[in-house]
Structure 1
Amino acid sequence: MEGNSVVTPEIERLIQAVETADSAAKLVGAVRALAATRSPLAVPQLTTVLRYNNPGAAVAAVDGLIQIGDAAMTHLLANMDGYNYGARAWATRACAGIGDPRALALLQEAALTDFALSVRRAAAKGLGFLRWQSLPQEEQETVQKAIYDTLIQVCEDPEWVVRYGAIAGLENLAKQAQHYRQPLKDFLQSFVEQEPEAIVGERILWTLENIGPI
């Protein structure tokens, strides 16, 4: 629970509906209703849902956690389940969508090493959209470099969808941190010649166009 907040009767009712749902469909509906409150008070229960064997409920919980945003991060990071891969994968997706720079190390590890390509792709794109601007000025350059270096590594991933996500992340980083535009252009102009998948090649060319002249 964030801070000293007390669960309100309405949130308590919605949490109870999640806990007592007696079918997969009812669980999904209950999670959606709880997520729709966008209340930090819902974070512990939404995080617990990630451990359930119900993909529909997990998607709804992830969407809710992303909508709650930074207020969900402390609980999410403190409750990463090292023994339940599915829960950790869903939580990683939530962190990627939230964009809080506290998720940097988690997303780096996931983008480079997770065995599920969908998690690697989400983590790669999420890295490029981390809001490093919210950090103290003296920390921003270090985080930018960590993001850039990791995504350059991810461009070597054997799965094209992961490379695609890395390119999207790199584009956003270069738009926000303009001193990375020229290094990224140099890298992509070389990389596009080696990229075997046409769709990734097109994404690279689009990125080169989008980051514009130096």
Structure 2
Amino acid sequence: MTHSDLLSSTIRELDRARTTPDLIQATRSLSTLKDLKAAPKLIEVLSFNNPAVGAVAMGGLIALGPDVVPILLRNLNAHDYGARAWAIRALAELKDPRGTDVLIQALQQDIAPSVRRAAAKGLAAISGASIHSPDRTERCLQALIDAGEDGEWVVRYAVAYGLEFCLLHCRLLGSIRDQASSTLNILAGESEEVGVVRLRAKLALQRLKAS
């Protein structure tokens, strides 16, 4: 059996799967091939509304490396926030700068808190991997600062993490660094109504002070 035949056979196996265990096994088999031609099918799996299967598919996409980024960007599901969240998380793990604009847009505009949260973490990762592109780093950080006023606490929690990461790992100068520190102080203050967000922001400030 040629590799192409194996790929086709594995995709058919996935199409026939109905139970969660069978879907997990078939998705894992497809991921193991590490074939870029499997990417569209793995992206389709992200929309199955099954977290266990989605996690396997996301791992398979990440394993394909930077070459999968353009495929992910072309196939973001505008109608399924769960699938978008998995795809955004994959882009975040890949830390590829080509995902910057999509992640910023997701953080600013996506209706799903889970997508915005994933985007915040992804922007922090990209900023840390963009040491030779200060403009990109600043764009990522500015998006995180703006998201400090997000209406969902899970997003603000991710922002606190992201700002800490950026301030610890990126070369930031001038007003942008001051704005990031100011946002953390706001999140750590009494105006923040959610306790876990305050605690996460305070932890970030403590780690920054100790660094």
Alpha-carbon separation, structure 1, partners of 2:82 and 2:188: 34
Alpha-carbon separation, structure 2, partners of 1:199 and 1:22: 39
**Paired residue type of 1:97:** E
Alpha-carbon separation, structure 1, partners of 2:187 and 2:201: 8
Alpha-carbon separation, structure 2, partners of 1:14 and 1:142: 43
In the alignment, what sits opposite 2:193?
A: 196
TM-score of the superposition, structure 1-length normalised?
0.81
SS in 2 for 1:130: helix
In the alignment, what sits opposite 1:98?
A: 94
Percent identity over the alignment is 33
In the alignment, what sits opposite 2:169?
A: 176
| Aligned pair partner of 2:64 in 40, 63, 68 | 68
Count, aligned residues? 206
Alpha-carbon separation, structure 2, partners of 1:187 and 1:134: 22
1:46-93 alpha-carbon deviations (Å, 9 max, x no partner) = 122224454432232112212333222121112223455543343223
In the alignment, what sits opposite 2:205?
A: 208
1:89-142 alpha-carbon deviations (Å, 9 max, x no partner) = 43223222322111111111111221111111111111111166458x3xx111
Alpha-carbon separation, structure 1, partners of 2:182 and 2:155: 20
Alpha-carbon separation, structure 2, partners of 1:24 and 1:152: 40
Alpha-carbon separation, structure 1, partners of 2:137 and 2:130: 12
In the alignment, what sits opposite 1:127?
A: 123
**Paired residue type of 1:151:** L
TM-score of the superposition, structure 2-length normalised?
0.82
- The 1:38/1:211 distance shift into structure 2, 3 A limit, reads farther
Report matched runs for 1:103-118 at 5 Å.
103-118=99-114
Contact 1:101 1:132 in 2 (8 A): no
Alpha-carbon separation, structure 1, partners of 2:54 and 2:187: 36
Report matched runs for 1:41-60 at 5 Å.
41-60=37-56
1:7-62 alpha-carbon deviations (Å, 9 max, x no partner) = 54544433232123244442232112322444434323212222445443223211
| Displacement after TM superposition at 1:146 (Å) | 0.7
- The 1:68/1:124 distance shift into structure 2, 3 A limit, reads same
Alpha-carbon separation, structure 1, partners of 2:159 and 2:149: 10
SS in 1 for 2:202: helix
| Aligned pair partner of 1:164 in 146, 153, 157 | 157
In the alignment, what sits opposite 1:152?
A: 145
Contact 2:85 2:114 in 1 (8 A): no
1:188-212 alpha-carbon deviations (Å, 9 max, x no partner) = 2344222221211111111112223
| Displacement after TM superposition at 1:166 (Å) | 1.0
Alpha-carbon separation, structure 2, partners of 1:190 and 1:50: 36
1:80 paired to 2:73: no
- Structure 1: gaps spanning 5 or more residues: 1-5
